[in-house]
């Protein structure tokens, strides 16, 4: 390809020859050294004596201060070469915009567009920069770059090119077709398949999910995790002590059958690790049971497990052997297995293992519901046995069953119980009422400040009702003594009365306590009404309990009764105010 030669263009530059030159001189000296240099492989055009008939075009190939190396007699504007002439000292030497520069550019551009990529047809478009190439090929355009093979514009337009491939993310190093990038995985509950339709045509990738049809019918699998014993945390770990035992023995009950394990020989051959000790014990258990129970060493304790996977799987702590050296716990100064009742050994009961039903769906009955037999089976397998049973944890991830208590018992927290809960008789009975705030102002009318209904026979022969009413802002600004009367009533029948003077000038606080309790017989009640001032300012008729009113009643009938607490000021005046609030009554059994 043709590259431009006379680049870069320089700004106009003018100087004169220092000395005369003949028509063959290639090194000339000028008065003013140029302020530029000639780029490597390039040439800069200049003119000597531009206004004379013997003007000459030269190409500067090198500059060394004021000394210029030139090529003589170069092409002039008319397209042919100029003549190398003799020039006198003082002749003008200039750089102007030389027509050859533009001719050189045109040739270079044409060459680039025509055949820079190597196209044999010099008239065809072919442009290449590095590995990027765009060219005309017959009646089509072709493209390529560093990462892709050459492709035609018609192929791209038809959607059949390399751009159909995809990557999973910006970090993906390999582009693939969508079908190859999609992967599917089937699980226990469903089967997933991938298919491509219309191969070679309008292809589509289909992902199909089919739920497995396996179901649980009216029963569930009855697989349980085997019960196991975790030994105490201080077993004998000195191998030499175990080596000395040739007749080890202990007793254990597995799955309800008492087993006497004996003749455990740790000496012939001598054990060398705790794992080997556990292996000898396991072999001894299997000889007796004829089954595949296990004994392993966890690193800190022995673990003996039943192999039974039914609800009857069970195991106990160890007891002393019937003969030989007892290795169940402490013997001869050694802890041995440390798995007896005196150790920290613990039994883990069998529990229902739900993994056998993973991925299965319950079978619906004819009504479209889960079959009641299946529900009952699930409840039974989880331990529900009777009406009122509840599940309560006995340890981490260990459910237990708490059976229902007696009538009227309440559920109570108790850390001493297996489940941390127990049913117990409550020390207090029902709370009957929480009253709203009641104000008594500027009146002499008896006002009910608390009223509620006591169910019939609540007091019976030995029960009691207790309550408290808080009184605030008891005030009397009339300047005269004013009496307040409080009454405890069964309906309209007064049981107990208290009278005291309202504080004059400064508001006071106080409270009323009332009690109605059975007097060892139905329809024979006693009543107490007690007033206490919060600052002990009331002294009239006051004893250590405050002002008291007592009385009797015979109203604990089979029907409901209304209990009222009333207040009646002596006279009505604007300075009188009583506020009753925080009202509460409770039946005590």
Q: Is the pLDDT of residue 62 over 50?
A: yes
CA gap 27, 29 in Å, rounded: 7
Distance, CA of 384 to CA of 500 (rounded, Å) = 62
pLDDT of residue 299: 95
Provide the whole-model pTM: 0.36
- Cα-atom radius of gyration of the chain, to the nearest Å? 56
Section 47-51 average pLDDT: 89
Counting residues of the chain whose pLDDT is more than 90, the rounded percentage is: 27
Asked if residue 7 has pLDDT above 50, the reply is no
Residue 328 has pLDDT above 80, yes or no: yes
Residue 345: per-residue pLDDT: 94
Q: How confident is the model at residue 327 (pLDDT cuts 50, 70, 90)?
A: very high
Lowest-confidence region among 141-150, 440-449, 580-589: 580-589
Q: How far apart are CA 39 and CA 61, in angstroms?
A: 9
Max Cα–Cα distance, the chain, nearest Å: 156
**What's the average model confidence in pLDDT over 125-150?**
77
Looking at per-residue pLDDT, the higher value among 238 and 423 belongs to: 238
Residue 573: pLDDT over 70: no
Answer whether residue 244 shows pLDDT above 70: yes
Mean pLDDT score, 352-378: 71
Query: pLDDT exceeding 70 applies to what percent of the chain?
Result: 78
Q: What is the mean pLDDT of residues 317-322?
A: 91
Q: What is the torsional sign of CA 543, 547, 551, 556?
A: negative
Model confidence band, residue 145 (pLDDT cutoffs 50, 70, 90): confident
The pLDDT score that the predictor gives to residue 561 is 82
Residue 182 tokens, joined: 């999609």
Confidence of residue 539 (pLDDT cuts 50, 70, 90): very low
Q: Mean pLDDT, to the nearest integer, of 166-181?
A: 83
Mean residue pLDDT of the chain comes to 80
What pLDDT, on the 0 to 100 scale, is given for residue 376?
A: 58
Q: Is the pLDDT of residue 585 over 70?
A: no
118-127, 167-176, 270-279: segment of lowest average pLDDT = 118-127
- 462 contacts 585 by C-beta, under 8 angstroms: no
Tell me what pLDDT residue 549 has: 82
Q: What is the mean pLDDT of residues 148-158?
A: 74
Q: Domains of the chain: which residue ranges?
A: 13-104, 224-352, 386-425, 431-588
Check: CB of residue 227 under 8 Å from CB of residue 313.
Answer: yes
Mean pLDDT of 314-340: 89
Q: Which of 97-106, 252-261, 308-317 has the lowest mean pLDDT?
A: 97-106
Cβ-based neighbour number of residue 215 at 10 Å: 11
pLDDT digits over 331-348, tens only? Answer: 767 889 999 999 999 999
Handedness of CA 569, 572, 575, 579 (dihedral sign): positive
Intra-chain end-to-end CA distance of the chain, in Å: 115
Among candidate residues 464, 465, 587, 461, the one with its CA nearest the CA of residue 524: 461
**pLDDT value of residue 238:** 94
Residue 296 banded pLDDT, cuts 50, 70, 90: very high
* Per-residue pLDDT tens over the stretch 509-536: 788 888 888 888 878 888 888 888 766 5
Q: Are strands 346-348 and 92-95 parallel, antiparallel or unpaired?
A: unpaired
Q: Are 497 and 529 in contact (CB under 8 A)?
A: yes
577 pLDDT exceeds 70? no
Model pLDDT, residue 293: 96
CATH 3.10.620 fits 431-588, yes or no: no
Which is more confidently placed, 561 or 544? 561
More confident residue, 428 or 286: 286
Mean pLDDT confidence for 198-214: 82
The pLDDT of residue 72: 94
Each as own residue / partner, the long-range contacts of residues 144-148 (CB below 8 Å, 24 or more positions apart, any chain) are: none
Whether 2 has a pLDDT exceeding 60, the answer reads: no
* Interval 394-436: pLDDT, tens: 887 677 788 888 876 788 888 888 888 988 765 455 555 555 6
């Amino acid at each position: 390809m043709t590259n431009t030669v006379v680049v870069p263009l320089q700004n106009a530059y003018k100087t004169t020859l220092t000395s005369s030159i003949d028509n063959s001189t290639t090194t000339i000296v000028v008065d003013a050294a140029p302020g530029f240099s000639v780029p490597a492989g390039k040439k800069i055009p200049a003119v000597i004596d531009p206004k004379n008939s013997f003007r000459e075009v030269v190409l500067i190939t090198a500059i060394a201060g004021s000394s210029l190396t030139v090529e003589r007699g170069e092409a002039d504007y008319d397209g042919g070469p100029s003549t190398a002439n003799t020039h006198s000292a003082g002749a003008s030497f200039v750089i102007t915009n030389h027509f050859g520069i533009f001719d050189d550019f045109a040739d270079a551009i044409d060459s680039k567009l025509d055949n820079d990529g190597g196209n044999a047809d010099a008239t065809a478009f072919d442009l290449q920069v590095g590995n990027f190439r765009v060219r005309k090929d017959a009646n089509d355009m072709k493209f390529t770059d560093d990462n892709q093979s050459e492709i035609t514009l018609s192929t791209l337009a038809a959607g059949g090119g390399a751009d159909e491939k995809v990557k999973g993310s910006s970090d993906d190093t390999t582009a693939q077709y969508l079908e190859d990038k999609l992967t599917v995985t089937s699980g226990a509950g469903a089967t997933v398949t991938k298919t491509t339709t219309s191969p070679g045509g309008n292809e589509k990738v289909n992902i199909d999910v089919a739920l497995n049809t396996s179901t649980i019918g009216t029963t569930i699998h009855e697989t349980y995790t085997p019960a196991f014993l975790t030994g105490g945390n201080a077993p004998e770990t000195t191998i030499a002590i175990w080596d000395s035992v040739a007749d080890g023995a202990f007793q254990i009950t597995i799955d309800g059958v008492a087993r006497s394990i004996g003749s455990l020989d740790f000496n012939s051959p001598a054990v060398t690790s705790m794992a080997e000790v556990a292996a000898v014990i396991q072999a001894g258990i299997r000889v007796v049971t004829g089954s595949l129970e296990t004994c392993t060493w966890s690193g800190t304790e022995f673990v003996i497990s039943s192999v039974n996977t039914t609800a009857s799987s069970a195991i106990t702590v160890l007891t002393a052997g019937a003969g030989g050296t007892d290795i169940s716990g402490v013997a001869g100064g050694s802890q041995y297995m440390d798995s007896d009742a005196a150790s920290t050994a613990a039994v883990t009961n069998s529990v229902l293992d739900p993994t056998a039903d993973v991925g299965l769906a319950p079978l619906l009955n004819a009504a479209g519901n889960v079959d009641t037999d299946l529900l009952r089976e699930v409840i039974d397998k989880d331990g529900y046995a009777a009406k009122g049973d509840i599940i309560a944890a006995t340890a981490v991830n260990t459910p237990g069953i708490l059976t229902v208590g007696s009538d009227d018992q309440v559920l109570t927290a108790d850390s001493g119980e297996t489940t941390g809960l127990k049913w117990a008789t409550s020390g207090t009975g029902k709370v009957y009422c929480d009253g709203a705030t009641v104000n008594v102002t500027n009146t002499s009318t008896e006002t009910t400040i608390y009223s509620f209904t006591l169910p019939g026979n609540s007091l019976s022969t030995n029960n009691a009702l207790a309550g408290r009413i808080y009184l605030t802002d008891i005030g009397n600004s009339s300047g005269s003594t004013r009496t307040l009367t409080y009454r405890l009533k069964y309906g309209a029948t007064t049981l107990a009365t208290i009278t005291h003077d309202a504080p004059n000038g400064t508001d006071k606080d106080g409270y009323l306590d009332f009690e109605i309790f059975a007097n060892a017989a139905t329809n024979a009640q006693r009543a107490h009404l007690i007033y206490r001032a919060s600052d002990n300012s009331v002294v009239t008729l006051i004893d250590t309990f405050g002002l008291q009113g007592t009385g009797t009643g015979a109203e604990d009938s089979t029907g409901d009764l209304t209990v009222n607490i009333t207040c009646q000021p002596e006279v009505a005046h604007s300075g009188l105010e009583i506020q009753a609030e925080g009202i509460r009554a409770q039946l005590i059994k």
